[in-house]
């Protein structure tokens, strides 16, 4: 890979974080230390929503969207008010979650283009996914729902450490089979060479299946099926349940819509019903865990892949910004962890945690040995979570999103956050006191701003050229402009 030439009703919003290049990622060659509490390897259920707004769940302050099942788990576990993902939109965020790497360091800064099988691209097989690491440690592994990390055989979930996969490989999908199947059959009959990903049949371990249920319900059903199968095996399980809800298209069941008749805005009402369907499904999965006597030893982690899409029903209050931004609203997400008798009940953790931290943390909890050549940009934060301490004290965390001809970037260190958006001058916020990013303090603390911008520039020098572009015309802009050299992003007024 080629290095860049010259590198540049309640809560939060923006783009992405990880470890400062002043703390350069290190190769790890040792077995993970023992978990502090005496326990066997726990089951791990990682639930990921798609485009879920920061304040669109009850445990994070929603007033109009009811999520009783999620709220019960959050209330019996630890909630994270400063949880960040590594990128403010789908594909790169998911790549970071499963590889433990900033997407910019492995060439996945952009989404994979639609109709992935025709492009034949995907996340490098040199990057071992957390599923494979846990599988090698004795875990029974499964992935259900949205993939978006490569659609050809070498990038398929079954080749990346997931023994069982049920879902779709693209970046999105329609929700009602009786509707999308009709469209698919019509296009197939017309011998259309390229059929839109959103209407393709679902698959189970590479074989096409005829789904009949609303997709969110189908994925919840399959998760319960996986949990039941896992209960008969003499090994723990790792399940990556990646709902595509509440990502567009906004499609909900009538019975769910009826529960939100008081919401007058059509998009918001449909979006609320889609979130509620996720909540229903998680409740059903928890019941299955209870029925199979597995709940007590199951760690459940819930979060979103990025901020909410405010053009399609979501809210990120009190955060500024939306999906795709480096404002807080783009990559600060709702998150909790639940594990009976092992994680503090009813606690709020206000310190920054990053989705990049999940790979090394889950490897530690699962007593897995990390590959000798594995580079990680996050860190094991388990002890910090248990102690409710800052796992990233004195470290700078980053987010970056390339746009057409310019780059948005943020850098957070402790209470301070530097932000560059829309070709505007750099701003500085005391983010612990100003999560809505309203008061720019760059003029009163120029040295703090200079330090954070310098950290971001050094971090950018660890990036590699994108392996793909979406939309594809960005490749020409990248090569023909100064986009590849960050467009003077790191320049400050003298």
pLDDT tens-digit map of 336-365: 999 999 999 999 999 999 999 999 999 999
pLDDT band (50, 70, 90) for residue 484: confident
Q: Give the pLDDT confidence of 273-296 residue by residue, as tens digits.
A: 999 999 999 999 999 999 999 999
Following CA atoms 434, 439, 445, 447 in sequence, which dihedral angle do they give, to the nearest 10 degrees?
80
Q: Give the pLDDT confidence of 86-142 residue by residue, as tens digits.
A: 999 999 999 999 999 999 999 999 999 887 676 889 999 999 999 999 999 999 999
CB 469 within 8 A of CB 404: no
Q: Which of 90, 312, 320, 463 is catalytic?
A: 90
Q: What's the confidence (pLDDT) of residue 17?
A: 36
Mean pLDDT of 243-261: 98
Provide the token pair at 241. 């349940």
Mean pLDDT of 321-326: 98
Q: Which of 148, 312, 320, 463 is catalytic?
A: 148
CB 176 within 8 A of CB 166: no
pLDDT band (50, 70, 90) for residue 20: very low
CB 378 within 8 A of CB 369: no
Q: Give the pLDDT confidence of 163-201 residue by residue, as tens digits.
A: 999 999 999 999 999 999 999 999 999 999 889 999 999
Task: Note the Cα 401 to chain centre separation in Å.
Answer: 15
Residue 207 contacts by C-beta under 8 Å, 6 or more apart in sequence?
none
Where are the chain's structural domains?
21-387
Q: Give the pLDDT confidence of 390-446 residue by residue, as tens digits.
A: 999 989 999 999 998 899 999 999 999 999 999 999 999 999 999 999 999 999 999
- DSSP one-letter code for 367: T
d(CA 94, CA 111): 10
- Bond prior to 251 in cis (omega within 30° of 0): no
pTM, to two decimals: 0.92
- Answer positive or negative: Cα dihedral of 88, 92, 93, 94: positive
Query: Is 90 noted as a catalytic residue in this protein?
Result: yes
Q: What's the confidence (pLDDT) of residue 483?
A: 79
21-387: CATH topology is Alkaline Phosphatase, subunit A (3.40.720)
Mean pLDDT of 464-486: 88
State the greatest distance between any 2 C-alpha atoms of the chain, in Å, as a whole number: 66
Q: Which of 57-71, 75-89, 286-300, 462-476 has the lowest mean pLDDT?
A: 462-476
Query: Is 392 noted as a catalytic residue in this protein?
Result: no
d(CA 45, CA 47): 6
d(CA 202, CA 204): 7
E-strand ranges in 65-202 read: 78-80, 83-84, 140-146, 164-168
């Amino acid at each position: 890979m080629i290095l860049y030439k010259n590198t540049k009703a309640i809560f939060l919003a923006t783009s992405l974080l990880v470890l400062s290049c002043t703390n350069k990622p290190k190769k790890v060659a040792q077995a993970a230390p023992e978990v502090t509490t005496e326990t066997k390897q726990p089951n791990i259920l990682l639930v990921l929503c798609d485009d879920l707004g920061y304040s669109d769940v009850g445990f994070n302050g929603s007033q109009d969207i009811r999520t009783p099942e999620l709220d019960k788990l959050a209330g019996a576990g630890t909630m994270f008010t400063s949880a960040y993902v590594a990128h403010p939109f789908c594909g790169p965020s998911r790549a970071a979650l499963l590889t433990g790497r900033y997407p910019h360091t492995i060439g996945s800064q952009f989404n994979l283009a639609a109709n992935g099988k025709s492009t034949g691209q995907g996340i490098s097989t040199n990057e071992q996914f957390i599923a494979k690491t846990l599988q090698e440690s004795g875990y029974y592994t499964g992935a259900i729902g949205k993939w978006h990390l490569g659609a050809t055989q070498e990038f398929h979930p079954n080749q990346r450490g997931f023994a069982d996969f049920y879902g779709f490989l693209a970046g999105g999908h329609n929700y009602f089979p009786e509707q999308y199947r009709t469209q698919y059959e019509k296009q197939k009959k017309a011998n259309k060479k390229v059929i839109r990903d959103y209407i393709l049949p679902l698959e189970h371990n590479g074989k096409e299946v005829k789904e009949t249920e609303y997709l969110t319900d189908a994925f919840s059903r399959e998760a319960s099926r996986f949990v039941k199968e896992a209960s008969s095996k003499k090994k723990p399980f790792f399940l990556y349940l990646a709902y595509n809800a509440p990502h567009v298209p906004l499609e909900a069941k009538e019975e769910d819509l009826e529960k939100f008749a008081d919401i007058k805005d059509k998009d918001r009402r449909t979006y609320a019903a889609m979130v509620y369907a996720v909540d229903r499904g998680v409740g059903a999965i928890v019941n299955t865990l209870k029925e199979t006597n597995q709940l007590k030893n199951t760690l459940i982690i819930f979060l979103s892949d990025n901020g909410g899409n405010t053009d399609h029903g979501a809210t990120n209050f009190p955060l500024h910004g939306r999906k795709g931004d480096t404002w807080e609203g783009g990559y600060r997400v709702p998150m909790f962890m639940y594990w009976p008798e092992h994680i503090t009940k009813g606690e709020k953790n206000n310190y920054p945690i990053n989705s990049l931290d999940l790979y090394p943390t889950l490897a530690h909890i699962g007593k897995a040995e990390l590959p000798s050549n594995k580079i990680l940009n996050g860190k094991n934060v388990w002890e910090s979570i248990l102690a409710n301490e800052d796992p990233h004290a004195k470290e700078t965390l980053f987010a970056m999103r390339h746009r057409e001809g310019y780059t948005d970037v943020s850098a957070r260190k402790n209470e301070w956050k530097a932000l560059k958006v829309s070709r505007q001058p750099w701003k500085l916020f005391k983010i612990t006191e100003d999560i809505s990013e309203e008061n720019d303090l760059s003029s009163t603390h120029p040295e703090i701003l200079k330090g954070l911008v310098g950290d971001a520039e050094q971090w950018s020098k660890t990036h590699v050229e994108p392996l793909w572009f979406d939309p594809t015309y960005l490749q020409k802009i990248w090569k023909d402009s100064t986009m590849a050299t960050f467009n003077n992003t790191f320049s400050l007024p003298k």
